[in-house]
Amino acid sequence: MSLAPLLVAVPLIAALVCAVRGTRAAGVSALAATTTLIVGLVVAFSSFAGPPEHAAAGLMYVDALSGLIVLIIALVAATAALYAVAYVRNAVAAQEIAPTEVRWFYVWIQLSIAAMFAVPLMNNLGLMWVAIETTTLTTALLVAFFRRGHSLEAAWKYLMLGAVGLGFALFGLILTYYAASHALGEAAAALDWDELRANAAALDPALMRVAFALVLIGFGTKAGLAPMHTWLPDAHGEAPTPVSVLLSGALLNCAIYGVLRFHLLTAGTLGAGFSSDLLLGLGAISIAVAVPFVLVQHDLKRLLAYSSVEHMGIVALAVGIGGPLGLFAAAFHMFNHSLAKTTLFVAAGALGQRYGTLRLTRMRGAFEVAPLPALGLVIGTLAITGAPPFAPFASEFGIAQAGFAGRPAALAAAVVLIAGSVLVFGGMLFHVLNVVLRTAPRRLHFAAFPFATAFIGVPLIVLLVMGIWLPPPLRDAFTAVARVLQVAP
Amino acid sequence: MIGAAAVVDGLALLLLAVALFSVTMRGLVSGVWLLVVQSLLLAFVAATIGVSSGAAHMWAAAILTLAVRAFAIPAVLFRVLAAVALKRETRPLLSTRHALIVAVGLALVAYLAAGRLELTGAFPARQALPVSLALIFIGLLLMATRRKAISQLIGLITIENGIFLTGLIATLGLPLFVEIGIFFDLLVAVGVTAVLTLRINEQFDTMNTDELRRLRG
């Protein structure tokens, strides 16, 4: 019996308990996140090893692709929920959050985690859509949690663009349902993924073309693919840091997951060409759009957010390039990005609370102020920008290699990838070195950051090890994901 | 069957008229009332299709539409409006007259686009699909040109109504449990947006999303 339903049930129950027993909310949330981490690891690694499984009476479907997303969410959610304990305590001390509001922070965090876990687990594409929409609603309130003008603005933009985007996706979904009910009859086509995938060849190609374009715009908005990314730097930058961690590390992957499912479906109907080319194009645009904003950035968390736009672009591009190597590298890169970005946001959040600001020009001398987060920021930046010997270098290298071996469009995309990565490397490192070096300001805030070594050290060491030697279980995992993502040409 | 299709066509054209009318309105209260009318028309569409096709879940869709779209959502919006001082869309980016011209243009585009999509729907109503596209376009127009948070929300719900109408016509709705999920999300979305609107109002003393233009770069 699969443990997958627990991944949704545990955070839901935790949210309820947090709402009722407010004084214990932090502990309950941390305990729930640790539980889902363990369960998530079990679910993920059993999905990599075996054939696709159904759970919860057919409501859930877990294959290696779901497994990868579950693995990422489990790791990121645990980090976010555990880090939130210290972060919220500091925010209360700094009077950014009223003590009475604290419980609701954890309630919404846990509800968001439940909704995120539901995305990769739902067998029914309609319910997957519902889960993705739910993540927008729960995280929008978290983005606005500080009730400052800027965070309200960010949340409003996020909510409106997210809702319109998901409207497009819903339209695409209706067209898919229409195509399916024509090809398979009303009863057979209740939008269940396994049914649809098996019968993809019978769907109307013209309709699926339109449907995929709509879904790509819709879920692409949520995944932060340019040019629909405009809400992302605002939301990720203005949100309380544990929420930024969830948004950048986990939620973007949920949206990409939605795109990938429809990519597989459309490729089953039309052949790989159409949807792969669109992914390739949007990926390249996202990388190109992110570069200038990274170079001229003035805010640390927005810097990291634009880097997320770039990396979601890289993932889309890698899937567009395709082939066993490209797809393996795409899965590997999703994992790497989440790990590195989580660490970076935690380090940025810790520094931000010390300085009382995230403006890059006011954050100076971080090595003196908070040595460990500063070190994490530098090493994390080296890792995420693809410097060897860290894992993102290995995955980006794989993507570029697959691109050079591929069709002309893939080759062009690989060139964009390399050029973009070099520029972002220079830009991010410049900003970050300015932050960690130079003279520290005299006025600093007090902000505790317990277990800093674990939060910052562990993921960076993992990224370092994976860059040099990829452990066989993970290699098998990414191979299994690549097999799911493989489409006939 | 033909009779039912004609009824649905008539209702769809009424929907289009209501949507065009809401482009010309600047009062927020009347904007919400127009949403109520839209929702009632949608419920009639669902009920008509339910009668003629005998599909039981269309009745569920009609009842859900009445309960959520025609009752719960407007109730939330009216409460928000009661709590805030502003009752009118003050300075839309497009004057209502120009907006109406653009909206009519968008409706024409919707007819052209629907002709190309070649959906031989589950229900033989010819006006409904173009109208549903037109609703989506007009909703986008409202969201893009209005500055008040509530007006933008009205635009968003108009878009949702268009999508819902497409679903009704093309496939007799989505599977019921998916439909329930979507209705639930819509309701929560309006609730969350209402909370945000009130907080924006508290913070800025206006519901103007114009104030929300400080985040750049």
User: How far apart (Å, rounded) are the C-alpha atoms in residues B59 and B66?
Assistant: 11
Residue whose C-alpha is closest to residue A342's, from A410, A453, A466, A242: A242
| CB pairs < 8 Å spanning A and B | 124
* pLDDT at residue B181, rounded to an integer: 85
Q: Which of A173, A167, A170, A114 lies closest to A139 in space, CA to CA?
A: A114
Lowest mean pLDDT among A36-45, A186-195, A307-316, B114-123: B114-123
pLDDT tens digits, residue range A440-450? 888 888 888 88
Is A210 in Cβ contact with B117 (below 8 Å)? Answer: yes
Range A199-219 burial, b when 16+ CB lie within 10 A, else e: bbeebbeebbbbbbbbbbbbb
Task: Please report, for residues A138, A143, A309, B77, B175, the alpha-carbon distance to residue B185 in angstroms, rounded to integers and kept in the order given.
Answer: 11, 18, 26, 16, 15
Is pLDDT at A120 greater than 80 in this prediction? Answer: yes
Give the pLDDT band (50/70/90) at residue A185. Answer: confident
Which amino acid, one-letter code, is at A64? A
Among residues A215, A422, A152, A420, the alpha carbon closest in space to that of A309 is found at A420
Q: What is the pLDDT of residue B174?
A: 80
Q: Do B192 and A127 touch (CB under 8 A)?
A: no
Sign of CA dihedral A6, A8, A11, A12: negative
pLDDT computed for residue B122 by the predictor: 59
Collapsed DSSP state (helix, strand, coil) of residue A59: coil
Residue A128 near residue B187, CB atoms below 8 Å: no
How distant is the Cα of A264 from the closest Cα of chain B, in angstroms? Answer: 21
Greater confidence (B171 vs A66) lies with A66
Angstrom distance (rounded) from CA A165 to CA A217: 7
Tokens linked to A209: 């073309």
Hey, which residues does A253 pair with through a beta bridge?
A: none
The DSSP letter of residue A186 is: T
Q: Tell me which chain A residues have a C-beta less than 8 angstroms from the C-beta of B159.
A: 164, 167
Cβ–Cβ gap A163/B182 under 8 Å: no
pLDDT in tens, B27-72: 899 999 999 999 999 999 999 988 887 777 888 889 999 999 999 9
Is A15's pLDDT higher than 90? yes
B155 vs B161: CA distance, rounded Å:
10
How far is B88 from B151, CA to CA, in rounded Å?
Answer: 9
Q: What angle do CA B186, B187, B189 make, to 5 degrees?
A: 65
Nearest to A279 by CA among A232, A213, A324, A329: A213
Whether the pLDDT of residue B102 is over 80: the answer is yes
pLDDT at B128: 86
3-state SS, residue A53: strand
* Cα–Cα distance, A329 to A334 (Å, whole number): 9
Structure tokens at A342: 């989580």
Burial class (CB in 10 A: 0-12, 13-18, 19+), A407: middle
A71, A121 in Cβ contact below 8 A? Answer: no
The per-type count for chain A, helices as H runs and strands as E runs, is 21, 2
- Here the tokens at position B103 are 């909206």
Q: For chain B, which residues lie within 8 Å of any Cβ of chain A, measuring from their own Cβ?
A: 117-119, 121-122, 136, 140, 143, 149, 152, 156, 159-160, 163, 166-167, 170-171, 174-175, 177-178, 181-182, 184-185, 188-189, 192-193, 195-196, 199-200, 202-204, 209, 211-215, 217
